[in-house]
Amino acid sequence: MKRMLLGGIAALAMTASVNAEEITEINFGIISTESAAALEESFGPFLEEMEEFLGVPVRAFFAQDYAGVIEGMRFDEVDVAWFGNKSAMEAVDRAGGEIFAQTIKDTGEEGYYSLLIAHADRADINTIEDVLDCSKGLTFGNGDPNSTSGFLVPGYYVFALNNIDPNECYSRVLNSNHETNALAVANEQIDFATNNTESMYARLAKSRPEDAAKIKEVWRSPLIPSDPMVWRANLPQDVKNKIYTFFMTYGRIGSEEDIKEDREILANLSDGWGPFIPSSNAQLYPIRQLALFRDKLTIQADDTLKAEEKETKVQEIEAELAELERLSAELPRK
């Protein structure tokens, strides 16, 4: 172990050894924001460091879509995972997941933005009003259904608030990851797509600058909380303790050389991360509110529902929103 833990953190780590009879390896889930090859290259050094600290193999777990990583956690095939907020909500609700840490940028920022993007040469697509014109017969690259920035956020702010159903408005709708959508726009295979500032400005601009230069930003969302780290809630507590210690000390504790090396590794992950900060399932409150608001608008616009049924469903959602507002008000303020 190259890292020296100090004070109470050292004591915690020493009493939190991984029990080989219970856990012989850790499977680390990585959501498919881009190709598995690109993700494996960027996450590889971090997982090697995690393996060294835990003393058991740490293996990357990839799936074709976000749902595959969620299902992996549901069936105990994924122990720890990097999720977006929407997919983390699904993992918490359906797969026994629990948020324990949050990523932040290497600049200290605690959020990012959803985008709508189009080819830089498209003179007819410059604003949100342009993409909401259903008479144009545009082709649309939507995100993974479990993506926060690629699906949930634009689904609410762009489409639900404007009473637009993308499947009815556009001539073709495709669901893909951020990298695929960006390249499809750059190569003029689709007219516009969802994306986010992480994938566009921290990844694509560095890995494929010639393609990034062909893309322009059409719309930007309000700030989205930075991505959570999630573990299986049913992991043994001693394993959780040591995983938590690794995340909270990585890039913070050790020799000056170690800390510099750790931060360089973090800076190469996703949109460029800094040291992790503690978090919990409470991080999802604003995401849950967003999903409920969108559901409420969908129900109110559904002409197939009887008035009484519609009112009942809306009241149920409003009760859930009120409870989330109460819980949010009880959280300590930063």
Rounded Cα–Cα distance for residues 319 and 326 (Å): 11
**Fold (topology level) of 285-330:** Methane Monooxygenase Hydroxylase; Chain G, domain 1 (1.20.58)
**CA–centroid distance for 201 within its chain:** 16
What is the rounded CA–CA span in Å between residue 45 and residue 150?
Answer: 27
User: Each residue of 249-263: pLDDT tens digit?
Assistant: 999 999 999 999 999
Q: What is the DSSP letter of 150?
A: I
Q: What is the DSSP string of 207-238?
A: H-HHHHTTEEEEEEPSPEEPPEEEEETTS-HH
Closest residue by Cα to residue 196 from 113, 106, 117: 113
Query: Yes or no: is domain 7-109+226-281 CATH 3.40.190.10?
Result: yes
Report in angstroms the alpha-carbon separations of 135 from 129, 141, 158.
Answer: 12, 17, 17
Domains 7-109+226-281 and 285-330 share a fold: no
* All structural domains of the chain with their residue ranges: 7-109+226-281, 111-224, 285-330
CA separation for the pair 25, 43 (Å, rounded): 17
CB 170 within 8 A of CB 140: yes
- Residues whose CB falls within 8 Å of the CB of residue 69, separated by 6 or more in sequence, listed in order: 29, 30, 31, 32, 61, 62, 63, 78, 81, 83, 87, 91
Token pair in block for residue 240: 């959780």
Instruction: Count the Cβ atoms, other than its own, within 10 Å of residue 122.
Output: 16
CATH architecture of the domain formed by 111-224? 3-Layer(aba) Sandwich (3.40)
Q: Are 315 and 292 in contact (CB under 8 A)?
A: no
**Tokens of residue 63, six digits:** 């799936």
Report the distance separating Cα 67 and Cα 245, nearest Å: 28
Residue 218: predicted pLDDT? 97
What pLDDT was estimated at residue 333?
66
Contact between residue 292 and residue 320 where contact means Cβ atoms under 8 Å apart: yes
Amino acid letter, 216:
K
**pLDDT value at residue 15:** 46
Q: Which residues of the chain have pLDDT under 50?
A: 1, 4-21
Tell me the backbone φ, ψ of residue 175, rounded to 5 degrees.
-105, 120
Of 41, 22, 4, 1, give the one whose Cα is nearest residue 255.
Answer: 4
pLDDT in tens, 186-200: 999 999 999 999 888
Q: What is the pLDDT of residue 334?
A: 56
Rg (the chain; Cα; Å): 21
